[in-house]
C-alpha cells in the first residue's frame, strides 16, 4: 500500500514524510518496500525548460504552453496528456476536470524506463485505499525504472525508482505546477539516468473505497477505463535526441 501524508499545498515540489492516511479520503496503509520519508534531492535539481536546441522551452507555471504536437488523446474523451523535452528536461502534463478538482484521492501517474542501472520491473506500484478496496496494481508494458506521481490536491508529489527489488522513494520531482484543470511537471534527464530514448506511460487513478478507477491512459489504447485494469498494454518510446519530430507523431508500441 502507498503511505501518504498531507502537507500545505503550494506550487513547488512537495516531499511528504512519514506514514498516514489520505487526506480527505480513506486511510492508506503502507506497502512494504515503499519508504515514505523523503530521500535526497533528485540529481540535477529543479530546472525549467531551456531554449538551447530543445523541442520546446517550457516554463512550469501551470499555464499550458505545450505545442499542438506535444498533446496526446487519452482513453478518457475529456482528458489530454502532454509530453515534451529539451536538452536538459522532460516535461509531462495532464488536463481534465479531475486535475483541478482538489481531490486527495486522485493521482496523475507516469512510468518511464530511463536508465536505472538494472532491468527495471513490469510491476506497477499498488495503489489501494483500504483492505476493502480492490488493489490497483497494473502490470506495465515495459520494464520501468522510474515512477513519477502527483496528487490532485497538490499535497504530494515525488519520484520512485526501482532498486532491483522494490520501488524506493528518491525525493521530489524537479518542478510541479497546477492551475485549474491543468497540471505540468518537469524532471531533469540526469535524474532519469540521462537516457537517449525514453519509454513512457501516463494515466490517472482514483484511490477511494467504492470508487476505484484507472483512466486517462497515454497511449489512449493502452487500456479500457475501469476499476482495476489488469494490464497496461501500450507505451510510447521517444527519441530524445530527435529535436524535430513532434512527440505525438510517434506510434504506440508494441
pLDDT digits (tens, 9 = 90+) for 16-52: 222 223 333 333 332 333 333 333 333 333 333 333 3
Q: DSSP string of 185-251?
A: EEEETGGGT--SEEEEEEEEEE--TT--EEEEEESTTS---BSS-SB---BEEEETT-SSS-GGGSP
Confidence band for 174, pLDDT divided at 50, 70 and 90 = confident
Residue 83: all three cell numbers together:
509530453
Between these two residues, 10 and 175, which has the higher pLDDT value? 175
b/e string for 18-55 if b means 16 or more Cβ within 10 A? Answer: ebbbbbebbebeebeebbbebbeebebebbbbeeeebb
**Sign for the pseudo-dihedral over CA of 156, 199, 58, 204:** negative
> Is 185's pLDDT higher than 90?
yes
Q: What is the mean pLDDT of residues 111-121?
A: 88
3-state secondary structure of 99: helix
In the block, residue with C-alpha cell 487513478: 205
pTM comes to 0.79
**Cβ 78 vs Cβ 180: under 8 Å:** no
Q: Report the pLDDT value the prediction gives residue 179, as an integer from 0 to 100.
A: 97
> Is 128's pLDDT higher than 50?
yes
- Tens of pLDDT, residue by residue over 92-108, are 999 999 999 999 999 99
Between these two residues, 216 and 37, which has the higher pLDDT value? 216
Q: Report the pLDDT value the prediction gives residue 131, as an integer from 0 to 100.
A: 67
Report all structural domains of the chain as residue ranges with CATH numbers, in order of start. Answer: 68-242 (2.60.40)
- Tens of pLDDT, residue by residue over 78-94, are 999 999 999 999 999 99
Amino acid at each position: 500500500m502507498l503511505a501518504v501524508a498531507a502537507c500545505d499545498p503550494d506550487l513547488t515540489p512537495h516531499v511528504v514524510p512519514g506514514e498516514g492516511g489520505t487526506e480527505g479520503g480513506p486511510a492508506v496503509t503502507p506497502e512494504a518496500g515503499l519508504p515514505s520519508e523523503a530521500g535526497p534531492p533528485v540529481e540535477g535539481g529543479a530546472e525549467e525548460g531551456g531554449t538551447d536546441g530543445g523541442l520546446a522551452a517550457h516554463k512550469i507555471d501551470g499555464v499550458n504552453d505545450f505545442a499542438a504536437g506535444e498533446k496526446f488523446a487519452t482513453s478518457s474523451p475529456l482528458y489530454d496528456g502532454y509530453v515534451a523535452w529539451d536538452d536538459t528536461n522532460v516535461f509531462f502534463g495532464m488536463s481534465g476536470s479531475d486535475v483541478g478538482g482538489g481531490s486527495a484521492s486522485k493521482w496523475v501517474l507516469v512510468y518511464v524506463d530511463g536508465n536505472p542501472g538494472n532491468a527495471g520491473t513490469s510491476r506497477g506500484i499498488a495503489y489501494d485505499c483500504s483492505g476493502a478496496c480492490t488493489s490497483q496494481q497494473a502490470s506495465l508494458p515495459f520494464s520501468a525504472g522510474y515512477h513519477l506521481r502527483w496528487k490532485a490536491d497538490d499535497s504530494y508529489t515525488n519520484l520512485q525508482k526501482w532498486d532491483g527489488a522494490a520501488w524506493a522513494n528518491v525525493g521530489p520531482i524537479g518542478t510541479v505546477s497546477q492551475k485549474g484543470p491543468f497540471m505540468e511537471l518537469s524532471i531533469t534527464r540526469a535524474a532519469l539516468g540521462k537516457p537517449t530514448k525514453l519509454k513512457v506511460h501516463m494515466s490517472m487513478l482514483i484511490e477511494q473505497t467504492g470508487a476505484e478507477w484507472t483512466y486517462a491512459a497515454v497511449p489512449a489504447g493502452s487500456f479500457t477505463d475501469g476499476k482495476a485494469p489488469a494490464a497496461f498494454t501500450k507505451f510510447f518510446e521517444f527519441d530524445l535526441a530527435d529535436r524535430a519530430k513532434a512527440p505525438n507523431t510517434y506510434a504506440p508500441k508494441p
